Structure 1
Amino acid sequence: MELWQRRGIGILSIGGGAIGVAAGLQLILSRSNPIEWIFCLAFIAIYAWGVWSGTKFLEGDDRALRPLLKYWALQVPTFGSPILGYLLASGFNATVTYQFWPSRISGNMMLGSSFNYSLMQEGTPWSIGVNLFALVVTVWLYRVFGGLAPDNSPKQTAQSLCD
């Protein structure tokens, strides 16, 4: 991996995570419902995890790859429904969403961090989407590190499993 690539992913993870923590703290202080506090605390914890894993990754610790990969993978899906909705973005967001009824496709790009959740919001349309930027980062991290080999254990092949 090139140094600029490690720095880019590390900085997006740290900066996006820090902005997410700050936004979550600001939101939690403005809410009075304990259920909303739980959601905000969960997102704050995810963003803090991104800051930690991004810092370790920037320091060259390849053991941080697994948590960093999971952090970026959590940003790939977005969905909405009258029952539950979810969006998480850190650093940069390029999302394409399909709304089922009325049928439409929309897109969104943003530099920065954001999270959105909904619970039992009557009238919210059913939708599903993907954060294309997070998907590219996740696939790229997985491919660069050869399927997560940096856990200090040898990769198992189909042949070695049969022996």
Structure 2
Amino acid sequence: MKVWQRRVIGILGVGGGAIGIAAVTSVVAQQHNPIEWLFSLIFAALYAWGLWCGVRMLEGSPDAERKNLIFWLVQVPVFSSPVLGYFFANGFHLTVSVQASPLNFNANFFLGSTFTYSLLQSDKPWILGVNLFALGVALWLVRVMRRLPPNNSSKPTPLRGAA
């Protein structure tokens, strides 16, 4: 992996995670229901995980690519229904979705971190979507991981033995 690529993914993780934690903190201050606090705590943990993954990527830690792959895959699905809804984006998102009734197609992008959840809200429509940016990063990380040396590190292996 090139240094600039590692930096971009790392900065998105660190910056997006920090912004996300700040966003969750501001939302929690306005909530009064313990269930809402629980959901906010889950999203705060996801943003903290993203911050950690970003730091690992910036440091060039072994297995940073695999950890980041899982983190970016968590951001791919977008869905909403009267029963449950979920959307999580860290750093940037480019999302496309389709709403069932009335039929509606939507595209959205945002530089920053955002999250949405719903639980047992009968007024929520059926929506299925994909965060194309997160999917692209995940597919790119898979490609990078296939090229890694067997020790699973993107750092160059030092030469050993007598010259």
TM-score norm. by structure 1 comes to 0.89
Write the distance in 2 (CA, Å) between the matches of 1:147 and 1:124: 43
Cα pair 2:24 2:40 within 8 Å, conserved:
yes
Residue 20 (structure 1) shift: 0.5
Matched, 1:103 2:103: yes
Deviations 1:70-110 (A, max 9, x none): 11101000000000000000111100000011111101011
Q: CA deviation at 1:65?
A: 2.1
Residue 148 of structure 1: how far off its partner (Å): 8.1
Distance 1:68 1:109 in 2: 21
Asked if the contact 1:76–1:132 (Cα under 8 Å) also holds between the matched residues in 2, the reply is: yes
- Going from structure 1 to structure 2, the CA distance change for 1:73 and 1:24 (only over 3 Å counts) comes to same
Which residue of 2 is the match for residue 93 of structure 1?
A: 93
Runs of 4+ in 1 over 3 A off after TM superposition: 147-152
Is the partner of 1:9 in helix, strand or coil? helix
Deviation, 1:30, is 1.4
Say whether the 8 Å CA contact 2:66–2:145 is kept in structure 1.
Answer: no
Taking the TM superposition and a 5 Å limit, the aligned residue runs for 1:109-128 are 109-128=109-128
Mapped to 2, the partners of 1:54 and 1:32 lie a distance apart of: 32
Q: Which residue does the alignment assign to 2:160?
A: none
Once residues 130 and 139 of structure 2 are traced to their aligned partners in structure 1, the CA distance between those partners, rounded to angstroms, is 13
CA distance in structure 2 between the aligned counterparts of 1:36 and 1:85, rounded to whole angstroms: 13
**Please, which runs of 5 or more residues in structure 1 have no aligned partner?**
153-163
What SS class does the counterpart of residue 87 from structure 1 fall into? strand
> What's the counterpart of residue 132 of structure 1?
132
Q: Could you report, residue by residue, the CA deviation over 1:16-51 in whole angstroms, capped at 9, with x for unpaired residues?
A: 011001111111121110000000000000100010
Q: Point out where structure 2 has 5 or more consecutive residues left out of the alignment.
A: 153-163
Is the partner of 2:98 in helix, strand or coil?
Answer: strand
